[in-house]
Chain A
Amino acid sequence: MTQQKHRSSTKMVPMPTYSIVPERDVNEIPVLETRHLGIEFGGLKAVEDFNLTIGKTEIAGLIGPNGAGKTTVFNLITKVYEPTTGAALINGRDLHGMSITQASKLGIARTFQNIRLFDKMTVEENVRIGLHNRIKYDMVSGILRLPRYWSQEKRQHEKALELLHIFDMEKLADEEAGSLPYGAQRRLEIVRALATDPKLLLLDEPAAGMNPHETEELMENIAKIRDQFQIAILLIEHDMNLVMGVCEGICVLNFGRVIAKGTADEIQANPVVIEAYLGKKKEG
C-alpha cells in the first residue's frame, strides 16, 4: 500500500546536475551523486562521463546491453576500482581515495552479479558478517567469553533472524550458504547487504536465474525493503518487467556512456534506447 502511495505522489524533478530525483527527495541530500565519473583500462574507456543523482529513498535502475559498463559503475561506486576521472559522493561525502571497507562504512552495500557468499559458512553467519560493524565486541571478549560476548552474540542472533524474516528465510539459518538453491542465494546476498545498515543498496542483476514467479516476488520485496528501511536502491537488471515495474528513475548505459535518463515511460519511448537494444532501422 505504501508502495502505491509513493508511486502516485512521486513526480520526477530535475536536479542541478541534470539528473532527476523523485519530488519527495528534493530537499534531502542525494544519497549518491556522481560527477563525470569515468575509468580507463589501458586506453579503453570502460565508463565515461557518468553523471547520476539518486534521491534519499529512490529506486533507480541502471540498464544497458551486455558490456555497456554497468557493473563497472558499481565497482567504481563501491571503490573496487579507483576512477580515473570525476568523483562519486555518498551523502555529500567524496569517496576519493577510500578503500572498499571505508566506502562500506559510509553506507554502501551491494550484491554481486556472480554470487559471492561465504559458501562454507551458515546462512546466519553470512548475515552476521553483514552485522560486523553494527553489533561489535572485541577479540579479547570473544576469547575469554566475557559477558559482552554473550550479550552481543544474542543481539547478533536476534537481528540476523529479524533480517532473514524479510524473505522468510529464518528456517534456513543453519544451512550452509553454498548449499542453498540459486534464488535463495541471491536473496541471502540482499539480506546480508541490508545487515550493514546501508543508505544505498546496489543490486547487481538480482533477478538473474529466477523464474517469473520469483521475480514477481522479488519486485514486491524491493519496494517493501525501500519502504521499510527508507533507503535508496540502485539496481542493474536485464528483466525489463522488473525494471519498468519497480524503478522510478532509469539510466541507460551503452558503450560506457549514458544515452538516456528518465522514467520508465520516457525510456520505453526513447528512440536512442530502442536503437541501442535492437539496432538501427535500415535506411530507405
Chain B
Amino acid sequence: MTKEKRKRLIYSLVTYLLVIAAFIFLQSMIANKTISRSLKGQLVPICCWIVMAVSLNLVVGISGELSLGHAGFMSVGAYTGAVVSGWLLNGFDVQDTTLRLVLAIVAGGLFSGIVGALIGIPVLRLRGDYLAIVTLAFGEIIRSLVNVFYVGTADGKLHFSFLQKNMPDAVTMLVDGAKGAVKVKPISTFTAGFILVLITLVVVLNLINSRAGRAIKACRDNRIAAESMGVNVTKYKMMAFVTAAVLAGMAGALYGLNSSTVVPSQFTFNQSINVLVFVVLGGLGNVLGSIISAAFLTILPEMLRAFADYRMLVYAVVLILVMIFTNNPTIRSWVNRLTAPLRKKEKTGGDAQ
C-alpha cells in the first residue's frame, strides 16, 4: 500500500471511529440518564446538520462550486418527508414508525435529488459568483413555492394545489400553505440520524476516493485541463450537486419529522449560510472537519444560553476567533510541531507492517 493510500485510509477510519464512538458515548449517556435535556433534544438536529455540512462540502469543497441554496434542498426533503409520513399514516394506516421514517427519508432524498437535477441543468452552466447567486435565488424560490403549497390526503389519494380552494372538502391537510406542514408526528430517532450520518460518510468518502471523485476534483482544480483529458465536466459537476441534494433531502426529511410542524421560515437563506459556515470552519474538502464544526456550532448557541441577550454576539466572536486560530500560520506550525512526534511514530509503525 502506498503512503498516500495509507494516509487516506487512516483519515477515513478516524472519521468513522469518531462518529461511532460519539454515538456509543451519547447512547450510554441516554441510558444512564446523565444527558441534559437540551442536549438530548439537539441530538437529531445535530445529525441533520452534520449530513448537511458534509453534503455541502461535496459541492463547495470537492467540486469547488459555491452553492448558497442548500437549505432549499433540505426544505424539499422536510416537506416530502412530512407528506409521505402523513400520507402513509392517514391513507394506508401504516403504524410502524420505523417503516414510515425510512420511506419518508428515501422519498425526501429522491425528490430533493430530482429538484437538484432540474436546478443543476441551468445552474451548473454558470461559474463562480454567478453560480452562487443563482443557487441563492433557487433556494429562495423553493421556499416561496412551499409557502403557498397545499397538500392534503383523502381516501388514500394525495391532492396538490397552489390554491387552498382547490382542496376537496373531506381532506386531511398535510401541508397548509404558510402554516407549513401541520400535525406532523415526530418519529425521528437519534439512531436513525446516526445511520444517516454513516450512510452520508460512506457515500461521500467513497465517492471522493474513486474515479468519479477524482474527476470531480480535476474539474475543480483545472477545468480546461480536465476537459482536455476527456472528462465530461458538466456530468461530474452535476454528479456532485445531485448527490449533495439527495443527502440534504434525506437530512431534511429527518429534520422535518423531528418536530410537530415544518414551516418555510426554518429553511431561509440564513440556514444555507449557516451550513456554509460549518463547511468553511471545518475546512473545504475536509469531511471530518465538517462533522466536528457542524456538531460544535449546533450545540454552541445552547451552551451560550447563560449570556442571554448577548448569545448571538458571543457566538459571532467565538466563530471569528476559531477562524483566526485555525488559519493562523504561526499557530498552525506550533500545532504541527507539537504533533510531530506522534506522526513520526505512526509512520514508522506503518512501515514496519
Contact = CB atoms under 8 A, between A and B. Distances in A.
Interface of A: 78, 80, 99-101, 104-105, 109-110, 112, 116-122, 124-125, 128-130, 132-133, 136-139, 142-145, 149, 152-153, 156, 173-174, 192-193, 195-196
Interface stretch (B188-196, B209-217, B332-340): B209-217
B217 A120 contact: yes
Contacts of B2: 124, 173-174
A101 B4 contact: no
A105 B230 contact: yes
Interface string B221-236: 1101111111111000
B273 interface: no
Task: Name, among A130, A143, A192, A193, the residue most crowded by chain B CB atoms within 10 Å (CB to CB).
Answer: A143
Given A101-B233, A137-B211, 9 more contacts: A78-B228, A118-B218, A118-B221, A121-B221, A122-B4, A129-B215, A129-B231, A132-B231, A142-B212
Contact of A142 (B4, B213, B227, B229): B213
B212 A119 contact: no
Contacts of B321: none
Interface in B115-142: none
B37 interface: no
A125 B214 contact: yes
Contacts of B217: 118, 120-121, 125
Nearest to B207: A143
A128 B214 contact: yes
Contacts of A122: 4
Interface string B74-94: 000000000000000000000
8 contacts: A117-B222, A119-B222, A133-B230, A137-B211, A139-B207, A139-B210, A156-B211, A174-B2
B206 interface: yes
A78 B221 CA distance: 20
B24 interface: no
Interface size class of B (residues with CB under 8 A): 20 to 34
Contacts of B212: 138-139, 142
B285 to A, nearest CB: 8
Contacts of A80: 224
Task: Name, among A133, A136, A138, A139, the residue most crowded by chain B CB atoms within 10 Å (CB to CB).
Answer: A139
Contacts of B214: 121, 125, 128-129, 132
A101 B210 contact: no
B239 interface: yes
A137 B227 CA distance: 19
B92 to A, nearest CB: 31
Given A121-B217, A121-B221, A149-B210, A174 B229 contact: no
Nearest to B3: A174
Nearest to A102: B230
B210 A143 contact: yes
Contact of B211 (A78, A117, A121, A142): A142
Contacts of B3: 174
Given A101-B230, A124-B4, A174-B3, A142 B210 contact: yes
B202 interface: yes
A100 B193 CA distance: 43
A117 B226 CA distance: 9
Given A118-B217, A133-B230, A174 B225 contact: no
